[in-house]
Structures are given as structure tokens and as C-alpha cells.
């Protein structure tokens, strides 16, 4: 059971200490802060797991770390989904796949949301295609995972606080084990 979680945590240790591009936290700090926000919100183990792993695609894609600065969208949400959907159910993998879509959705339906985004997130929004059109909004809302994707997006946005103390990776092992596809 623990082989997969050990492998995931090892990837965090190898790739997670780099800066989360344009933010004042490392990738691992960002993902731990997102999981911590989910935990404090009373989210189910599957959604806490999604929050912890939502940017896993940044660790395992093979493009340079500063791709966004060169105008390249790494499609990290699809990279993460391709790997994680092999090991976790859609309650984990789908909100992750939709977490960029949720940003584009929120920019379209919540006028105040754009103002809450970090400058780096505003920059990547352009690369990701900008706010959704009304037709795209309707399509997004039709997904059974739209609500969890929006919740995950809020945890993602909350996970950029320099110096915030959080539980460590091992604290989330039980959530990952509970969320695993059996």
C-alpha cells in the first residue's frame, strides 16, 4: 500500500524545494499549504489529497521550470491527471484536471476573483486561455466535479503565504492511503 505514497513523497523531496514560480513559497510549501487549507475547511480525504497533489504535474512534466516566462503553458493539470488517475479515483484526479479550468471559470463568474489572484497567476491566466465564455461556463458547471474543482482552486489560491507553518507530508499519508483507488 505505501509504495505509491513513498514514491510520491520522494518526488516532493527531489523536486519540491524549488520556488513556486513567481511566488514567495516553494512548490512543496505551496502544496502543503493548499492541503492544510482543505483540511481546515473540513474537506474529505479525497479533496485533501487533491489539494496536496494538485501541482504534481509541475514535478513530472519535462519542460523547463521557467516555461511560463517564455510563454509556454505546460498543461500541468493534464500531466498530473494522466499519472494520478492511474492510482486515484476521479474524486482526486478530476478536480486536479479542472483546477486551471476553475480559475478561468471563477474569473468569468466572480468579478472580484481576478483582483484576488497573485500577479504570477494573472500572467498564467493569459497563457491558459483567459476567462471562460458563457458557453464554457455552462460546460464547466455541467461537470460533476465542478464544485470540488472550485473548492480546490480556493485552496490553491490560499497556498501562497510566505512562512506559514503547516503539517508535514507524513501528516497527509493517511488521507492519501484512504483516497487511493482500491
Shortest Å distance, C-beta 5 to Fe ion: 20
| Bridge partners for 180 per DSSP | 88
Residue range at the interface with Fe ion (CB under 5 A); choices 44-52, 54-62, 120-128, 142-150:
54-62
Instruction: Please state the φ and ψ torsions of residue 180, each to the nearest 5 degrees.
Output: -65, 145
**55 touches Fe ion (CB under 5 A):** yes
Q: Which is nearer to Fe ion, 126 or 138 (CB)?
A: 126
Inter-helix orientation angle 146-158/99-109, to 10°: 90
Nearest to 114 by CA among 157, 68, 148, 55: 157
Q: Which is nearer to Fe ion, 76 or 140 (CB)?
A: 76
**Total interface residues for Fe ion by CB under 5 A:** 2
Residue range at the interface with Fe ion (CB under 5 A); choices 2-10, 38-46, 47-55, 84-92:
47-55
Measured CA to CA, the distance from residue 28 to residue 56 in angstroms comes to 10
Q: Which is nearer to Fe ion, 148 or 156 (CB)?
A: 156
Q: Which is nearer to Fe ion, 19 or 133 (CB)?
A: 19
Give the SS3 label for residue 182.
Answer: coil
**77 touches Fe ion (CB under 5 A):** no
Shortest Å distance, C-beta 169 to Fe ion: 16
Measured CA to CA, the distance from residue 21 to residue 40 in angstroms comes to 25
C-alpha torsion angle, residues 179, 101, 128, 160 (rounded to 10): -60
Q: Which is nearer to Fe ion, 45 or 76 (CB)?
A: 76
What residues between 112 and 171 interact with Fe ion by CB under 5 A? 156
Interface residue list for Fe ion (CB under 5 A): 55, 156
Amino acid at each position: 500500500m505505501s509504495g505509491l505514497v513513498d514514491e510520491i513523497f520522494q518526488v516532493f523531496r527531489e523536486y519540491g524545494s524549488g520556488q513556486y514560480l513567481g511566488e514567495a513559497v516553494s512548490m512543496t510549501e505551496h502544496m502543503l499549504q493548499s492541503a492544510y487549507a482543505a483540511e481546515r475547511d473540513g474537506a474529505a480525504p479525497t479533496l485533501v489529497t487533491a489539494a496536496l497533489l494538485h501541482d504534481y504535474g509541475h514535478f513530472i512534466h519535462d519542460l523547463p521550470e521557467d516555461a511560463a516566462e517564455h510563454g509556454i503553458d505546460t498543461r500541468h493539470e493534464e500531466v498530473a491527471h494522466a499519472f494520478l488517475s492511474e492510482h486515484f479515483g476521479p474524486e482526486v484526479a478530476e478536480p486536479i484536471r479542472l483546477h486551471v479550468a476553475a480559475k478561468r471559470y471563477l474569473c468569468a463568474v466572480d468579478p472580484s476573483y481576478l483582483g484576488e489572484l497573485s500577479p504570477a497567476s494573472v500572467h498564467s491566466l493569459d497563457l491558459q486561455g483567459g476567462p471562460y465564455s458563457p458557453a464554457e461556463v455552462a460546460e464547466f458547471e455541467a461537470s460533476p466535479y465542478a464544485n470540488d474543482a472550485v473548492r480546490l482552486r480556493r485552496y490553491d489560491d490560499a497556498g501562497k503565504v510566505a512562512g506559514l507553518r503547516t503539517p508535514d507530508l507524513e501528516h497527509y499519508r493517511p488521507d492519501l492511503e484512504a483516497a487511493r483507488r482500491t
